[in-house]
Structure 1
Amino acid sequence: MRSFVRAGRGPGLTEENYNTMTTASKIFVAGATGLLGGQIVSNLLDRGASVRALVRPGTDGDKKAALTALQARGLELVEGDITDPVEKLAAAIGDATTVVSAIQGGPDLIIDGQVNLVRAAEQAGARRFIPSDFAIDITKLDDEDNVMIGWRRKAAAAYGDTSLDVISVLNGAFYEVMIGFMGLVDWEAGTVSHWGDPDQPLDMTSVPDTAAFTAAVALDPEAKGTQRFAGEVLSMRQFHQTLERATGRGLTLKNLGTADELRAEITRKAAATQNPFEYVGLQYQWCMVTGKAKFDNVDNAKYPQVKPGSLEDFVRQAAPKA
């Protein structure tokens, strides 16, 4: 079984070394039509990498247009699905040496699909795999703490015997999720809600910066184990203050209860539904506000060419102003 490891902080790569990193090896990306996957592909192409992406047959609309734009920059597309038979998926991976998964979905994709992708990568002769982890510190959590992270941990256990070098990229919470999916910010009511200690530090990174770090890891032949990156480390009190500065709006910081009360609310919601997506946002919040999923250190210094943007700058562009 593959265990999650804490990678030590190496000396890092200089700008000069980064610019000379090999781009001769082909990188295969699954999930390229998603927001993160598409930006990973774009960053890899920016670095001159040879990139092949898996696309489901019949993809159209905005996703097709985005892929067409990436094709114009050198992206190679192959049709298929990560649930295809291993032999067919291995043929799609072809001569790629690194396989990146940026897929999202339920356990059929995150567990079964990713295990299938690993087996296909092995058969194709790939050497490295970057799974769709992209989250808070899943190495410090238990499977039951968060259903979606539990799926990722189960996938890692299922392909734990792989011959591939598995490199996990963790980014904390996405800025986009913190001001959206989490339900923490109610712009209409003018409130920022939180559970637990408002001064607990939280790791956060934007989607574009996560993609840039992922591309850097994929192109780094020395990258191993679990890599942790953060655009900002802010408490909920600082998060609230940042939103006020960025928007020029007065927002009320609203305490919803203790971490124990949050856990009780999760238990109540989980008992009332068969759909884990109705309470997984609360699970993410519990993992963060308790400090259980806090990074012990970050690896930003390994890739100084990636300069993550601040939450304040992100909110200035994304949020409604006063």
Structure 2
Amino acid sequence: MTTVLVAGATGSLGGQIVKHLLDRGADVRALVRKSSVDKLTAHPNLTAHVGDLTDGADALARHLDGVEVVVSAVQGGPEVIIDGQRELLRAAERAGVHRMIPSDFSINLYGYGYGVNVLSDLRRVFADSFATSTVARTSVAIGAFPEYFLGPVHEVLDPAAGTFSVWGDGTRPIDMTTIADTAAFTAAIALDPSTAGRDVHVVGQQLSMMELRDEVEAASGRQWELVRKGTLQDLRAEVVRRQFNASSLVEYVALQAQVAMFDGTGSLRDVRNADYPDVVPTSLAAYLAGRGAAHFTPPETPRRPGEWPTAV
């Protein structure tokens, strides 16, 4: 039985990673704050370990004795993605952990340079920590989560106005994977030792923005006015404009991701779904017919500028 520690184990992604690891027979340690212990569902192979990445490597190491793989599903700024995960990595080194899956779960981080996406930059800075580490890095890339991409932060769907907005011509295929499918793939990858030291690209579905609009119209049963917001160069200019005026990176980071998605530099390469045939991804049509139908209704509480989004 493989022993896996999951950091961020009660989050929207981390909680589902825990579930899929348990379903695959792993012994799971959930690293959680004391206030979140009661969010875990009891299971004979699940143990709560109370701690936080801010505790430092010395304190974290005691949670990792006998652990073979660490999975990080934490989110935040540099204090979490760089500093916190670096402490977790140092603790893993001391405990003799074989592999770590950092909290990447994004578009192809290495298709474009620094300065395109601030969150990608943080992930790549942390990735450099593995260069001299005894712990092998396995990075999971999945494209975009539709739970966020179709929410207010990406400004694609506006259910109140009935509009669907596109930058560029909207014909390039983009990569999308639901949070649930990402968790299923991640559990399988965590238990696959052949992934040590490499990036693994998996995807739920690849479709263009125009095809996505067709799926939205079919699922919602209504027409959505197509709004062409400008060229990709216009999108890049809008990102720069917002950066100068923003009080929080949340006000522009979603558009930064769209730049790399729409110009193809963030597209997934060498997609390895076939390595995990028991993971059958959810189609966008099925997602939109289920939980994703919430995207078609205006939120009861509008998101405030600079507020981190929550998944549908």
* Worse-matched range after superposition: 197-206 or 158-167: 158-167
Question: How far apart are the structure 2 equivalents of 1:250 and 1:174?
Answer: 23
Question: How far apart are the structure 1 equivalents of 2:96 and 2:270?
Answer: 33
Distance 1:205 1:243, change over 3 A: same
Residue 193 of structure 1 and its aligned partner are, at CA, apart by 0.6
The answer (yes or no) to whether the contact 2:130–2:137 under 8 Å persists in 1 is no
The answer (yes or no) to whether the contact 1:129–1:166 under 8 Å persists in 2 is yes
Question: How far apart are the structure 1 equivalents of 2:105 and 2:56?
Answer: 26
The answer (yes or no) to whether the contact 2:26–2:45 under 8 Å persists in 1 is no
Residue 34 of structure 1 corresponds to 11
1:306 to 263, 266, 279: 279
Question: How far apart are the structure 1 equivalents of 2:131 and 2:241?
Answer: 34
Residue 124 of structure 1 corresponds to 95
Question: How far apart are the structure 1 equivalents of 2:283 and 2:206?
Answer: 10
2:179 to 194, 198, 207: 207
Q: Which runs of 4+ in 1 moved over 2 A?
A: 71-74
Residue 140 of structure 1 and its aligned partner are, at CA, apart by 1.1
Residue 278 of structure 1 corresponds to 251
The answer (yes or no) to whether the contact 1:53–1:76 under 8 Å persists in 2 is yes
2:106 to 121, 135, 139: 135
Report 1:51-66 matches (<5 A). Answer: 51-59=28-36, 64-66=37-39
The alignment's TM-score, normalised by the length of structure 2, stands at: 0.91
Question: How far apart are the structure 2 equivalents of 1:194 and 1:150?
Answer: 25
Matched, 1:239 2:216: no
Residue 164 of structure 1 and its aligned partner are, at CA, apart by 1.1
Aligned-residue sequence identity (percent) comes to 44
Residue 297 of structure 1 and its aligned partner are, at CA, apart by 2.7
Residue 195 of structure 1 and its aligned partner are, at CA, apart by 0.8
Residue 223 of structure 1 and its aligned partner are, at CA, apart by 1.8
**Greater RCO (CA < 8 Å, at least 6 residues apart):** 1
What SS is found at the alignment partner of 1:139? coil
The letter for the 2-side match of 1:202 is: I
Unaligned runs of 5+ in 1: 1-23
Residue 72 of structure 1 and its aligned partner are, at CA, apart by 3.2
Question: How far apart are the structure 2 equivalents of 1:58 and 1:246?
Answer: 39
Residue 182 of structure 1 and its aligned partner are, at CA, apart by 1.4
Question: How far apart are the structure 2 equivalents of 1:139 and 1:219?
Answer: 24
The answer (yes or no) to whether the contact 1:206–1:309 under 8 Å persists in 2 is yes
What SS is found at the alignment partner of 2:55? coil
Residue 252 of structure 1 and its aligned partner are, at CA, apart by 1.6
The answer (yes or no) to whether the contact 1:115–1:159 under 8 Å persists in 2 is no
Matched, 1:84 2:55: yes
Tell me how large the CA RMSD over aligned residues is.
Answer: 1.4
The letter for the 2-side match of 1:105 is: G
Question: How far apart are the structure 1 equivalents of 2:72 and 2:112?
Answer: 21
Residue 268 of structure 1 corresponds to 241
Residue 43 of structure 2 corresponds to 72
Matched length: 293
Residue 44 of structure 1 corresponds to 21
Question: How far apart are the structure 2 equivalents of 1:186 and 1:319?
Answer: 13
Question: How far apart are the structure 2 equivalents of 1:73 and 1:25?
Answer: 14
The alignment's TM-score, normalised by the length of structure 1, stands at: 0.88
Offset from partner CA, 1:26-84 (integer Å, 9 cap, x none): 0000011110000000000011110001011233xxxx5431x1x23531011111121
